[in-house]
Amino acid sequence: MNNSPIRVRFAPSPTGMMHLGGVRTALMNYLFAQQKGGAFVLRIEDTDTERNYDPTAQKIIADLTWLGLTYNEGPIVGGLHKPYFQSMRDQIYQERLAELSNSGKAYRCFCTQEELEKKRVRQIALKTPPRYDRTCLGLTEQQINHNLEQKTSFIWRVKLDKEGTISIQDLSHGTITFDLKNFSDFPLTRENGTCTFMFANFVDDMMMQISHVIRGEDHLTNTAGQAMLYKAFDYPLPLFWHVPILCSIEGKKLSKRDFGFSLVDLKDAGYLPEAIVNYLAIIGSSFTQEFMSLEELSKNFNFDSMNSTGQIKYDVEKLKWFNHKWINHISDDELAIRCLPFLLATYPTAKIIEQNTLARLIKAVKTDLVTLQDITKVLEFYFKAPTVTHQDIAQHITNQHDCLVIANLISDVLPTLDTAIFTDTVKKASQAQNISLKDTWTFVRMALTGLPKGLGINDLIEVLGIDEIKTRLKSVIG
């Protein structure tokens, strides 16, 4: 396979929302294809119709698009190996199954679920590994025909070479050899005739000429059986990379209870796609420069030195750091566009803000944002006048006794204030009263925003307007 074109695939099941483990698997496939000049294939494993949450994969495709992980072949874009939904590929699976049965490498199993469960319970009681005992492998042709005539339900099982071994090459683990005596003749079909994940997944990888199978460490147990199927079809094995499983900072497997387990959690909280892929790419690896775009990651990721650990820790605090960095990296105009939906959800009047005004506001407060959701709190003053008292302001004034003096001087000049002379007038009045300019501007800013720090006074005048400035100052000075 080393001389074959590089072809990788992301093959999610549309049975729930995209989770971080799936995102990282998709990301590693994408980066590998980008770096090696290969094809990134999206394939939807949708045969579990009862649990399909996203039957047409629209949410999966939307998530990949949002993350910037563009695939070369798959739903919508098409390709030479369509269809890319497993539910549409049953005829292909049946043809490959016929090849196995005709060559004697698969057999019918008529054992019922109840019979199999009794055998499993007995094996456990005897402290032997619970494996299928090959009862139906020894059936005569007459017995098989009798069962078929009686319309006894059955599944197809693969016939393993119990005396043999199978080896795979893994980018992080090196050579892994499996002793097939430790494995069961696993099912290829279900009782309803549809093919199992193990078989369909293998057939798709073989037929789509996947050169590198990059998937989670939890799939390693499936690999021995699928490797045996490659051998049964006399088809070269792909190279594998079993990506470490994401776990919590405490070392436990991530679950729905952990914040950020689902991609929608992070999107709703205002995490940027650039930050998410940046973080997921660098954890578990060593980079001199951690802050990188997708393009930079695809160039710099070292696929020749993979970590063989079974799990890596997901740290939401580190993700926050990346998100803050990316918020300050993208342009003010772009950040304004991304912040607007969060503002609209809290302040419907945000729809009338002019783009340049919003960009100016964003520029002034972006260093205070960890996630986009923070914008609703940071810009609350713009949509809702703060409720502050002299006592609130006095806590931030060097000499608390000056708070009343500042209120009085502003009251004196307020009637004559306009946009052009606001700062100059307040400044002169403050100097005449021998009041610290820092304290004066802190008073004004607190009265206008409820915060002691933030936008410059001239910025506040521009975005709030002189009339709103006067209204807010009057409400504080009384």
Between CA 304 and CA 155 the distance in angstroms is 42
Between CA 84 and CA 86 the distance in angstroms is 6
Which residue in the block uniquely carries the two structure tokens 């990059």? 214
Integer angstrom CA distances of residue 129 from 121, 123, 125, 132, 404: 10, 6, 10, 10, 83
* Domain extents in the chain: 331-383, 385-478
385-478: in CATH 1.10.287: no
Between CA 410 and CA 5 the distance in angstroms is 74
Between CA 63 and CA 53 the distance in angstroms is 14
Regions in the chain scoring below 70 on pLDDT:
1-3, 307-310
Q: Are 325 and 291 in contact (CB under 8 A)?
A: yes
In this prediction, residue 310 carries a pLDDT of 65
Between CA 278 and CA 371 the distance in angstroms is 15
* pLDDT tens column, 119-143: 999 999 999 999 999 999 999 999 9
Between CA 96 and CA 440 the distance in angstroms is 81
Going along 126-203, which residue ranges are E strands? 155-158, 165-170, 174-179
Integer angstrom CA distances of residue 282 from 24, 286, 287: 10, 7, 7
In this prediction, residue 411 carries a pLDDT of 92
The closest alpha carbon to 455, from 468, 440, 444, 470, belongs to 444
Q: Are 129 and 182 in contact (CB under 8 A)?
A: yes
Q: Are 177 and 205 in contact (CB under 8 A)?
A: no
Q: Are 48 and 89 in contact (CB under 8 A)?
A: no
Contacts of residue 23, defined as CB under 8 A and 6 or more positions apart, other chains included, come to: 63, 67, 263, 276, 277, 280
Between CA 153 and CA 189 the distance in angstroms is 12
In this prediction, residue 1 carries a pLDDT of 47
Between CA 138 and CA 107 the distance in angstroms is 10
Which residue in the block uniquely carries the two structure tokens 């009681």? 125
Between CA 16 and CA 22 the distance in angstroms is 11
Count of other CB atoms within 10 angstroms of residue 465: 12
Q: Model-level pTM? A: 0.90
Using alpha carbons only, how large is the chain's radius of gyration in Å?
32
The closest alpha carbon to 312, from 286, 291, 341, belongs to 286
Q: State the chain's mean pLDDT as an integer.
A: 92
In this prediction, residue 69 carries a pLDDT of 98
Between CA 167 and CA 356 the distance in angstroms is 61
Between CA 228 and CA 223 the distance in angstroms is 8
